[in-house]
Copies of this chain bind each other. A is one copy, B any other.
Amino acid sequence: MTRWPLPEPMALALDEAMQAARAGEVPVGAVVVCDGEIVARAANSPRRSHDPTAHAEIRALRLAASALGRERLDGCELWVTLEPCAMCAGAIAHARIARLYYAATDPKGGAVEHGPRLFEQATTLHRPEIYTGMGEAEAAELLRAFFKQRR
């Protein structure tokens, strides 16, 4: 049996998530792709960096915008291992990300298909195309193993 390969950006995001877990952080990773090039990758790191905003998505968006020297990432893609929270979904809208890909869903903290469903709000600034599920089992297993170990 051959498992269908993950798209490269999601494989890299999962690699970032694994690095987060090894550093004692909730395992989430994110990658920004612009014009087919990977311009940023980041792991979740609020504990290490003493920064409540240092989710993988926020870090990857900041790195990408800095690398490209512009405030907005029109036309770019964000790949992330977990459904974004309200903070990150808001940042994705501010950054004008064109396509959002996420692996596992997050019924507790997610704000895309759960809770406030931010991109469905009439007041949302911007609504990316959204693709889910690729890498879902891998991303969810990383989170399960991390929280099991912590209990």
Report if A94 contacts B (CB, 8 A).
yes
User: A86 and B116: CB pair below 8 A?
Assistant: yes
Which residues of B have CB within 8 Å of A61?
52-53
Considering the complex, give the chain B residue whose CB is closest to the CB of A59: B53
Q: How many copies does the complex hold?
A: 2
Which of A3-11, A34-42, A64-72, A128-136 touches B? A64-72
Alpha-carbon distance between A93 and B62 when the two chains are bound, in angstroms: 20
Which of A12-20, A107-115, A138-146 touches B? A107-115
Since A85-B90, A114-B123, A115-B123 are in contact, a sample of 7 more A-B pairs with Cβ atoms closer than 8 Å, ordered by chain A residue number, is: A46-B94, A51-B62, A52-B61, A52-B94, A53-B53, A111-B123, A116-B121
Residues of A at the B interface (CB closer than 8 Å) are 46-47, 50-53, 58, 61-62, 65-66, 68-73, 85-91, 93-96, 108-109, 111, 114-118, 121-125
